[in-house]
Amino acid sequence: MATIERAEVLICCPGRNFVTLRLTSSDGVTGLGDATLNGRELAVASYLRDHVAPLLIGRDPDRIEDTWQYLYKGAYWRRGPVTMTAVAAVDTALWDIKAKLAGMPLHQLLGGRSRDGVMVYPHASGQTVPELLDDVARLLDLGYQAIRAQAAVPGLTGSYGVKKNGRYEPADSARPEEQAWSSEAYLDFAPRYLEQVRQRFGFDFHLLHDVHHRLTPIQAARFGRSVEQLRLFWMEDPTPAEDQESFRLIRQHTCTPIAVGEALTSIWEVQHLITNRLIDYVRCTVVHAGGITHLRRIFDLADLYQVRSGCHGASDLSPVTQAAACQLGLAIPNFGIQEHMGYPPQTAEVFHSGVQLKDGCLDVDDSPGLGVEYDDQAAARFADFEPKYLPVARRLDGSVHDW
Ligand code: GCO
Ligand code: MG
């Protein structure tokens, strides 16, 4: 029997911070798992290094399900983003090893292709509406079939999802930047710019929008109703998902589809939303929801209720997650869409990935496993971790709002 011989936690900052777990088996096969949790990276690094890595040494890398159960049930303290990201890293690395040993790209082990490629949506954004419209035009020219549109709300400092100096990076300052928020100003403005997108570019592509947990349920209901004629692919995170019954209220008022789940980490947190048919797309990801093993379980449950996948894919999810999500998205029957935000240019120096973009879809090459290699020499050039935090949103009266 082969055993896990090494478990390395690799931290690098090629344009942004990434934490990666690399497992090496006694027969010399390596597997990678993403362990990046934006703004809390070192908590997961310590969880893995101090509490998980010592337990992995000597275990059989073949036993993926058993290792998952051992780390989840065995810890007693279960769920939550730190734990689930750590478990995900181990799980993904073990699937990488198994698929490499089989000599197959991972999707083959997951049942083989259900589709030719996974449709993605990139972000169009602008500090002004004309800037947003130019960005939508640019992305349509590049052949994307689906586009997320966000514009800065006039009069508010900082808006989530909008580029600064040509790039959007959610966590971009050494202390959380404080931004101003007004749901009233947003509700007045957002439907109007989304309408301008449809007026200018028509309906031949999917249009998405992220509300980013900002509205109350009744405001979200009003927003959803006010954009119905624009036929959004989805409105994302209309209200914070801790209050899951509130989605019933939104549903009573609008048929705009709803996507939720990027901040939810287990099947238990989406069970109510899925089984009560309160959402249309589930946005959990490989890295924050327990890896391939657990995410597949979530998507299987979702399939029973005609809920489709819509994996989170912001730049804080590494190319290892991107490849894993792509492999899973190729295989599952109820794939919906995949977020594709891209990375700073330096990231590709460290992560050599076989994932390719064609006609608005991602696909993988025939490399066995996930199809990603970690370049240690390049990583050494980006070795210094840079503490970076997501912003904090405050209402106009100074009180803290959901970010
Ligand atoms: C998205 C997201 C992100 C998150 C970020 C948090 O839909 O892409 O909402 O941009 O804010 O991933 O770390
Ligand atoms: Mg989002």
Q: How far is the CA of 222 from the centre of ligand 1 (A)?
A: 23
268-305 pLDDT, tens digit each: 999 999 999 999 999 999 999 999 999 999 999 999 99
Q: How far is the CA of 375 from the centre of ligand 1 (A)?
A: 26
Please give the pLDDT value at position 164: 87
107, 123, 209, 212: which one is catalytic?
Answer: 212
pLDDT (mean) for 210-228? 98
Please give the pLDDT value at position 376: 98
Q: Is the dihedral of CA 74, 78, 82, 86 positive or negative?
A: positive
Nearest residue (by CA) to ligand 1, atom 13, is 38
Please give the pLDDT value at position 282: 99
Please give the pLDDT value at position 354: 96
Please give the pLDDT value at position 165: 83
**Phi, psi at residue 153, to the nearest 5°?**
-75, 120
- In angstroms, the CA 33 to CA 27 distance is 19
pLDDT (mean) for 165-181? 92
CB 146 within 8 A of CB 336: no
* Crossing angle for the helix pair 291-304 and 64-74, to the nearest 10 degrees: 90
pLDDT (mean) for 92-121? 98
Nearest residue (by CA) to ligand 1, atom 2, is 314
Nearest residue (by CA) to ligand 1, atom 8, is 314
Please give the pLDDT value at position 157: 85
Q: How far is the CA of 212 from the centre of ligand 2 (A)?
A: 5
Q: How far is the CA of 236 from the centre of ligand 2 (A)?
A: 6
Q: Is 41 in the pocket of ligand 1 (CB under 6 A)?
A: no
159 vs 112: which has the higher pLDDT:
112
Q: Provide the pairing of β-strand 361-363 with 118-121.
A: antiparallel
Please give the pLDDT value at position 9: 98
Query: What atom of ligand 1 comes closest to residue 38's alpha carbon?
Result: 13
Let me know if 160 is a catalytic residue.
yes
CB 392 within 8 A of CB 23: no
CB 316 within 8 A of CB 41: no
Q: How far is the CA of 329 from the centre of ligand 2 (A)?
A: 18
Nearest residue (by CA) to ligand 1, atom 12, is 314
pLDDT (mean) for 248-259? 98
Residues in the chain: 403
Q: How far is the CA of 28 from the centre of ligand 1 (A)?
A: 36
Calculate the CA 247 to chain-centre distance: 21
Q: Is 212 in the pocket of ligand 1 (CB under 6 A)?
A: yes
Q: Is 316 in the pocket of ligand 1 (CB under 6 A)?
A: yes
Q: Which residues pair with 232 in a beta bridge?
A: none
Indicate if the pLDDT at residue 318 is higher than 90: yes
Please give the pLDDT value at position 159: 84
Q: How confident is the model at residue 138 (pLDDT cuts 50, 70, 90)?
A: very high
CB 187 within 8 A of CB 211: no
121, 160, 186, 374: which one is catalytic?
Answer: 160
80: DSSP letter: S
Please give the pLDDT value at position 158: 79
Q: Is 38 in the pocket of ligand 1 (CB under 6 A)?
A: yes
Q: 278 Cβ partners below 8 Å, 6+ apart? A: 244, 247, 248, 251, 258, 272
187 vs 172: which has the higher pLDDT:
187
Amino acid identity for residue 9 in this structure: V
Indicate if the pLDDT at residue 108 is higher than 90: yes
Query: What atom of ligand 1 comes closest to residue 123's alpha carbon?
Result: 8
Q: Is 210 in the pocket of ligand 1 (CB under 6 A)?
A: yes
306: DSSP letter: T
Please give the pLDDT value at position 166: 85
- Percentage of the chain beyond pLDDT 70 is 100
Domains in the chain, ordered, with CATH? 4-105 (3.30.390.10), 118-368 (3.20.20.120)
154 dihedral zone (left: phi>0; alpha: psi -120 to 50; beta): beta
Helix (H) or strand (E) holding 198: helix 183-201
Q: Is 314 in the pocket of ligand 1 (CB under 6 A)?
A: yes
Give CA separation, 32 vs 54, 96, 204, 299, 375, in Å. 17, 6, 38, 22, 12
Residue to probe by mutation, ligand 1, list 38, 160, 262, most atoms within 8 Å of CB: 262
Indicate if the pLDDT at residue 141 is higher than 90: yes
- Please work out, in degrees rounded to the nearest 5, the angle formed at the alpha carbon of residue 92 by the alpha carbons of 88 and 98: 145
Q: How far is the CA of 30 from the centre of ligand 2 (A)?
A: 32
- Maximal C-alpha separation, the chain: 64
Let me know if 209 is a catalytic residue.
no
Please give the pLDDT value at position 344: 96
> Which pTM value belongs to this model?
0.98
Q: Is 122 in the pocket of ligand 1 (CB under 6 A)?
A: no
Q: Is 107 in the pocket of ligand 1 (CB under 6 A)?
A: no
pLDDT (mean) for 210-222? 98
Ligand nearest to the CA of 238: 2
Give CA separation, 33 vs 128, 159, 268, 322, in Å. 38, 31, 23, 11
Please give the pLDDT value at position 11: 98
Please give the pLDDT value at position 212: 98
Amino acid identity for residue 280 in this structure: D
